[in-house]
Amino acid sequence: MEVARVGAGGRFRPAGIMPSMPILDERTLEFFSRSPEQTRRVGMRLGGSLQPGDVICLQGELGTGKTTLAQGLAEGWGAADDVSSPTFVLVNIYRRPDGSEMFHVDAYRIDSPREAEELDLDALMERGPVIIEWAERMGSVVPAERLWINLEHVEDEHRRLVFRADGPRSKELLEAVRASMVGAR
Ligand SMILES: Nc1ncnc2c1ncn2[C@@H]1O[C@H](COP(=O)(O)OP(=O)(O)O)[C@@H](O)[C@H]1O
Ligand SMILES: [Mg+2]
């Protein structure tokens, strides 16, 4: 029996919505974390590959580990510290000693398309990698080329992370994570 196929671009799913069961293909990676430290380490492995223009979207209920993962991303990227931005209430800026920047957007309080637009993601992306926590609240402002990470509480310290690459660049990032996980804990 022929069933509907997901095409190469996988464009059948609306932006930002994960299927309840992931399609485990070459664009998808499922990872079970057993501790906050492990979640942070996964972030660190990905963080080292991030460049300006890259967008990492984090989606998951409160307490699933989005901020923990974001902290690992920043550490792996090489952040010296993080500072709240005086110009953007919802954005933390991480800096490296060389002056380069990474942005951590917390979209929890965004509740209108206009507020999402006012963040001016394009401007941030030109300056550095952008991590968006509660990315589903940003709606269509989120670029199509992004690595989407869905986090779910399983039990106690167990979390299920599903990475989905939505374009060629995020596919590269996904491959970097996949490679770094071989034999890693
Ligand atoms: N495997 C895990 N990965 C991440 N956090 C975990 C894990 N197990 C337990 N935790 C705990 O869950 C909480 C996650 O908090 P946080 O990262 O702020 O989540 P979020 O930003 O999604 O609300 C922390 O208290 C952390 O210690
Ligand atoms: Mg958080």
Q: Which atom of ligand 1 is nearest to the CA of 70?
A: 17
pLDDT for the residue numbered 18: 47
Is pLDDT above 80 for 84?
A: no
* Spatial CA neighbour of 13 closest among 184, 166, 175: 166
Cα of 62 from ligand 1 centre, angstroms:
8
Is pLDDT above 90 for 184?
A: no
Q: Which atom of ligand 1 is nearest to the CA of 151?
A: 22
Higher-scoring residue by pLDDT: 101, 89: 101
Cα of 58 from ligand 1 centre, angstroms:
13
H-helix or E-strand spanning residue 67 = helix 66-77
Entry pTM: 0.86
pLDDT tens by residue, 21-48: 445 688 999 999 999 999 999 999 999 9
User: Do residues 157 and 151 make contact, with C-beta atoms less than 8 angstroms apart?
Assistant: no
Tell me, what amino acid is at 146?
Answer: R
SS3 per residue for 17-65:
CCCCCCCCCCCEEEEEECCHHHHHHHHHHHHCCCCCCCEEEEECCCCCC
Tell me, what amino acid is at 104?
Answer: H
Cα of 11 from ligand 1 centre, angstroms:
31
End-to-end Cα separation, the chain, in angstroms = 40
User: What is d(CA 184, CA 39) in angstroms, rounded to the nearest whole number?
Assistant: 12
Domains of the chain by start residue, with CATH: 28-181 (3.40.50.300)
Q: Which atom of ligand 1 is nearest to the CA of 68?
A: 17
